[in-house]
Structure 1
């Protein structure tokens, strides 16, 4: 049982690498789907690891290294090839920064440890956003630049607290669910596509922390 989380972590890393190869081959749909599969595997190995009385430090480090491949390199390469055509120097720079911010986010998580809230946007959420956006089409260059910069900044915005499913604040979770469902249903209504619904849900989660910060700031200013 103790080795099971590590095996799933290895699978996560392999799936991330497969995503890179499919992007290189031009199969954007499969490359994006594999990133989503990696997110599922990452959640599964985390759940199994938490069942252990004393999770190993080896497993923690292994998980972070695998996440660099699956949620850092794979989605950045996908975006560089699919969104920027694989020839744009600015796109290459932005995608490189995206990887660096993702690695920084993972390092921050390893230092702070599991909490009720994430400091900055979790890297799997950013990867899921990029994968789903790629499945829905190819954004304009301006929108692509905005998305990449937005995600890079949010991942290292330590002052923004994103709720974890482990949080004990049920009220906050209910508000989060409402926001995610509203954005999900809205995008589903626009595109009539299951992936657009998932994209909307992730968009709602990404927007949640900045939205709460704006509301709190407005209340303090009254």
Structure 2
């Protein structure tokens, strides 16, 4: 039986979903480090399915939908269940609600993305991408995991990080997409390419421990840039009113 090119990206998407399921099973068995690594594996397959879709020129509506379903499993349900099993279970109902934010807000983020999607090549996302949000949380956990428990000091930051990440996913803060390493992309975004390669180098030299801090930098940079743009827009909107009032005088 002949396998069409369109199947190739979908295979990576299904592997993404399968890794998300494996992460959930490991969280239920209290193997939290493995649960984190399966989410990382899911993110690799998630990036590969997009790359393969562009390479084979087989982007489709079906691919978008199956990708979103896989993402909600791997980067919504899996990390939400992970943080609940690891720490938030002790807060009972409040813990359920807070941990579920990663899934709920991630689902809203994906739905909004699908509705607003025009074409398959974008330079930025509106709101923190759900895979990036999941990676931010699980790299934090991996950095401060001691056996099967989170470092008590680090644990105090888990809830604020979960809430912040969840809100950023449904925000209007713009975050740049990953570089595509095409000739046009290299010419258009050389700093993005350099920054990405520098980040990978830091992660390798720190044996992975630097990943959380790089993601924190990326998230905060996007947030600060958004606040600066908001401030400048506000100043611009107020300027005509000031000019008119000065003319009246």
Distance 1:59 1:213 in 2: 31
- Name the CA shift for 1:52/1:112 in 2 (closer, same or farther; >3 Å): farther
Q: Is the 8 A contact 2:17 2:73 kept in 1?
A: yes
Distance 1:214 1:177 in 2: 22
Distance 1:18 1:217 in 2: 41
Please give the root-mean-square deviation of Cα atoms over the aligned residues, in Å.
Answer: 2.7
TM-superposed CA distance for 1:195, in Å, is 2.5
The match for 1:127 is 134
2:161 alignment partner, one of 147, 150, 168? 147
* 1:45-60 aligned within 5 A: 45-60=49-64
1:112 alignment partner, one of 111, 116, 123? 116
* 1:73-222 aligned within 5 A: 73-85=77-89, 88-113=92-117, 114=120, 115-137=122-144, 138=150, 140-158=154-172, 160-165=173-178, 170=189, 173=192, 177=195, 181=199, 193-217=206-230
TM, length-normalised to structure 1: 0.84
The match for 1:66 is 70
**What secondary structure sits across from 1:195 in the alignment?**
coil
Gaps of at least 5 residues in structure 2 are 145-149, 237-249
Q: Is the 8 A contact 1:135 1:195 kept in 2?
A: no
Q: Is the 8 A contact 2:32 2:86 kept in 1?
A: yes
Distance 1:119 1:218 in 2: 18
Larger Rg: 2
Q: Is the 8 A contact 1:94 1:148 kept in 2?
A: yes
The alignment covers a number of residue pairs equal to 213
**What secondary structure sits across from 1:121 in the alignment?**
coil
The match for 2:243 is none
TM, length-normalised to structure 2: 0.76
Gaps of at least 5 residues in structure 1 are none
